[in-house]
Chains A and B, each alone.
Chain A
Amino acid sequence: MSAVLPRHTLPPVIAPGETNASISAKIGDATLRRPTGWLWIGGFLLSLVACALLFVGTCWLLYAGLGIFGLNIPVAWSFFIANYVWWIAIGMGGTFISAAMLLTRQGWRNSINRFAEAMTVFAVSVSGIFPILHLGRPWFFYWLFPYPDVMNVWPQWRSSLEWDFWAILAYLIVSIIYWYVGMLPDLATLRDRARSLAQARFYGLLSLGWRGEARHWMRLEQFNLVTAGLAVTLVFSVHSMVALDFSEGLVPGWHETIFPPFFIAGALFSGFAMVLVLGIPLRTWFGFEAYLTERHIMNMAKMMLAAGLFVDYSYFSEIFTAFYSMDKYDVAMTMHRVVGPYAWVFWGTILFNVAAIQLLWFPRVRRSAAAVFVIALGVLVGMWLERFMLIVTSLYKDFLPSAWGMFWPTFWDIAFLIGSIGLFFFMFLLFTRLLPMLSMFELRKLVASRRGEEAQQ
């Protein structure tokens, strides 16, 4: 096969000629000295408008209650839960790239882990809004927490919804700490390269006085390694619990043992897609081509394809199991999905998550940043549709035909989805102006290890 290129023609993981000084200069100055461009200001204003929509929506929700959405019996879960699962899943990809690939010593991950972790922190923050606001009386959300209260009641520990609370709580805090502690050396670089006193103070406080002493490095590296191991466990456990929210229900289409691994594959799939959707523009706009090379796009595309194939297998397995079991409710649910009134959601999912990603088998497609970007964007859309499909088409026609009903989104359903995207980009755009976007010290380490390999040869 002529399409398979010999290994030595692969693009490098980091452009040749990069040094410790050039890494500090390019990545540090992208944060410290680069003037704010019109594109950034435009994007920021747009995200602010969407955030305002989210804010107004939240106020209206608190005042009027859940009736402002298209929810009713039988479809009592819809956009909010789809948004929640979609966002927390996107977060998983960032942790997985950072942690699992640190453990497996994938050096090329050193240029993506920082913004992937930032993506995780922001996506998990956004996702946490939805289950809380969906409570009906969100101001009592702290009842999920076990504290000695005057009512003398405790949380229901046997419920997967309670597990979910612990999972999100742990995941949010762990991802913030992992991101921040790993960023200390780079914040110190910004402190030392600061031009103004304000900058020096800002990064001086954030970097907590990091100096890069050998013993400090030793502790930091050990911490990163152990945390990476725990974070991989966390990714799998958190998203399994998200899946168990459904599996514990008895509705056809939810009550399946495949859900935890199926959801984890979906989480990694959409997470890798989001890393590509964020990374490809970052690479062009901030001139990071030396660090985010073609190789990164190719590798990420391969990982997205691999996760996608697992998701596709799960789709197949779900349909196969429905017919193989000959359970009439399962069969009916599957047929409602494929040809029912929400069939376009099912076929949209198939188009984006099954058909489109097959293009990634071709090395020429993987080498094209534009093509990979479009496919990744499609995957994000497809994964949202998939969550909508799993939630709504399982609920709208369950056991009794007399209890069937449709779900129609209202303006506010859509407003919260747009608002959550706005909030995510609001945080991510601030990140691109205020914090080091790529991990400078890990890139220096990568350069040093390359030098070491060359010296040995």
Chain B
Amino acid sequence: MSAHLHGLLAEFADERRLLDAVRRTREAGYFASCVEAYSPYPVAGLDKALGARHHWVPFWMLVGAIGGGAFTYWLEWWSATVNYPINVGGRPLFSWPAFIPPAVEMTILWAVLFGAAAVLFGARLPRVHHPLFESREFERATSDRFFLLVRGEDPSFDPVVTQTFLKNLSPVLVVEVAEE
């Protein structure tokens, strides 16, 4: 039966109960990759409680920044000195200070482009549909309720035992989420 379940979803009334529930679920031995916590705003400490892995958003932003800036600066140098050298009033072909502004702008632009891509791909988005969207209760996850999901994939997951476990964490309710 667990093969058909995406997981069990427990609803909480506030962030304190969710944090508490997440800690206890992790202590009970469920894998970090199979426990998910949903909240209508970023809750401080929730990622630590979940044992969330390091993410790479700033790293990719740095890659974008260096790549975008260096490529623009290189393009300016190459086009002005190698590909089409042209003497403009005796100014040096490689006018290095004047080449900085476009490179600065492209540094920022590519950092942000890479960052936005890292946010979306890191979160496996865009994704138009998701099993959780089938659940009527989950509509309040973006408004005023807090949710804990234990995925059916977890080796310690058992539809009955896990449900009993979640019900002991003082949730508003616990519902099953079907696999697509």
Known: A19-B144, A157-B102, A241-B101. A214 touches B130 (CB 8 A): no
* Cβ-based interface call for A328 (8 A): no
Out of A170, A208, A218, which one reaches B108, CB within 8 Å?
A170
Could you tell me the distance between the alpha carbons of A277 and B120 in the complex, rounded to whole angstroms? 34
Chain B, 110-124, contact with A by CB distance < 8 Å: what is the 0/1 string? Answer: 011101101110110
Chain B, 35-63, contact with A by CB distance < 8 Å: what is the 0/1 string? Answer: 01111111100110010100101100100
Dominant SS among interface residues on chain B: helix
Contact present for B101 and A192 (CB under 8 Å)? no
The contact size tier of chain B is 35 or more
* Chain B residues with CB under 8 A of A169: 105, 109
Contact present for B42 and A445 (CB under 8 Å)? yes
Known: A163-B102, A209-B126, A215-B55. A188 touches B142 (CB 8 A): yes
Measured CB to CB, the nearest residue on chain A to B72 is A166
* Chain B residues with CB under 8 A of A217: 39, 41-43, 46-47
Q: How many A-B residue pairs have CB under 8 A?
A: 193
Chain A, 67-79, contact with B by CB distance < 8 Å: what is the 0/1 string? Answer: 0000000000000
10 contacts between A and B (CB under 8 A): A20-B40, A152-B84, A171-B105, A205-B128, A208-B120, A212-B39, A214-B46, A215-B122, A219-B57, A442-B41
Contact present for A226 and B115 (CB under 8 Å)? yes
* Cβ-based interface call for B141 (8 A): yes
Could you tell me the distance between the alpha carbons of A233 and B111 in the complex, rounded to whole angstroms? 13
Out of B88, B120, B129, which one reaches A156, CB within 8 Å?
B88
Could you tell me the distance between the alpha carbons of A212 and B52 in the complex, rounded to whole angstroms? 14
Contact present for A213 and B115 (CB under 8 Å)? no
**Within the complex, what minimum Cβ distance (angstroms) separates A249 from chain B?**
15
* Cβ-based interface call for B178 (8 A): no
Chain B, 70-86, contact with A by CB distance < 8 Å: what is the 0/1 string? Answer: 00000110011001100
Q: A158-B99, A169-B105, A174-B108 are in contact. List 8 more A-B contacts (CB 8 A).
A: A20-B143, A157-B102, A166-B105, A171-B105, A211-B141, A219-B55, A223-B116, A226-B57
* Cβ-based interface call for A237 (8 A): yes
- From 218 to 264 in chain A, residues with beta carbon under 8 angstroms from any chain B beta carbon are 218-223, 226-227, 230-231, 233-234, 237-238, 241
**Within the complex, what minimum Cβ distance (angstroms) separates A144 from chain B?**
11
